[in-house]
A and B are shown apart, each in its own frame.
Chain A
Amino acid sequence: QVQLVQSGAEAKKPGAAVRVSCKASGYTFTRYFIHWVRQAPGHGLEWMGKVNPSSGSTSYAQKFQGRVNLTRDASTSTLYMDLTSLTFEDTAVYFCARFGGLAAVIPFEYWGQGTLVTVSS
């Protein structure tokens, strides 16, 4: 079965960087784009960007350009989200999600469990 398993909670100080991982299993890793979405406490869902696990090409929401970097390691079927220059406003749960289907275009059908990143001084 398809699974996306994310790394554990992180606590960071303002100005620091954070890396969140998302390990994929149960499907062909290179076939489906992985997207990253975050959710601040009590707020809605915010799309951050996407990565093509096959080529490594990326696309980012304008808000995060220059501060987020999405990468992948095909040898371990793991995706990474690096976010730099953290501020208090980056406190959120970060999700990875798989995009795409075989016979149809299916959006985020599978999600990781979420990783809480807390930015505090």
Chain B
Amino acid sequence: EIVLTQSPGTLSFSPGERATLSCRASQRVSSNYLAWYQQRPGQAPRLLIYGASTRATGVPDRFTGSGSGTDFTLSISRLEPEDFAVYYCQQYGNSFIFGGGTKVDIK
């Protein structure tokens, strides 16, 4: 079974800075079926990116997904106040495993 590792667990930034989050898979993710979700406190997760690099409907273009195979990245070009949240990666090829999450908090 694929394991998704997101490290570090917490990243600290100031508003306006660029954030880069990592997701590493223990095996190749088939068909690049890799998604990113944002979760704010008390809310359900929100789909940001699927297919490793396709933005979901309504997602601002400051969010960019990239990568293939076993290494994937979510970049947020200029952090807005509402972007401080927890981000999860997920593979949805032959299973639906989530990574452990990375919290983006305010420096």
Is the C-beta of B84 less than 8 angstroms from some C-beta in chain A? no
| CB neighbours of A50 from chain B (8 A) | 96
Taking a contact as CB atoms under 8 Å apart, the answer to whether B101 and A109 are in contact is no
Is the C-beta of A53 less than 8 angstroms from some C-beta in chain B? no
17 additional A-B pairs beyond A97-B44, A104-B54, A113-B44, beta carbons within 8 Å, are A37-B98, A44-B88, A45-B98, A45-B101, A46-B98, A50-B96, A95-B44, A95-B45, A105-B50, A105-B51, A106-B56, A107-B33, A107-B50, A108-B35, A108-B37, A108-B47, A114-B44
Query: What number of A residues sit within 8 Å (CB to CB) of B?
Result: 20
Give the tally of cross-chain contacts (CB within 8 A): 55
Docked CA distance A112–B43 (Å): 10
Q: Which residue of B lies closest to A111 (CB)?
A: B44
Residue pairs across A and B with Cβ atoms less than 8 A apart, 18 shown, are A37-B98, A44-B101, A46-B98, A47-B98, A95-B45, A99-B92, A104-B50, A105-B33, A105-B51, A107-B50, A107-B90, A107-B96, A108-B90, A109-B56, A109-B57, A111-B44, A111-B46, A113-B44
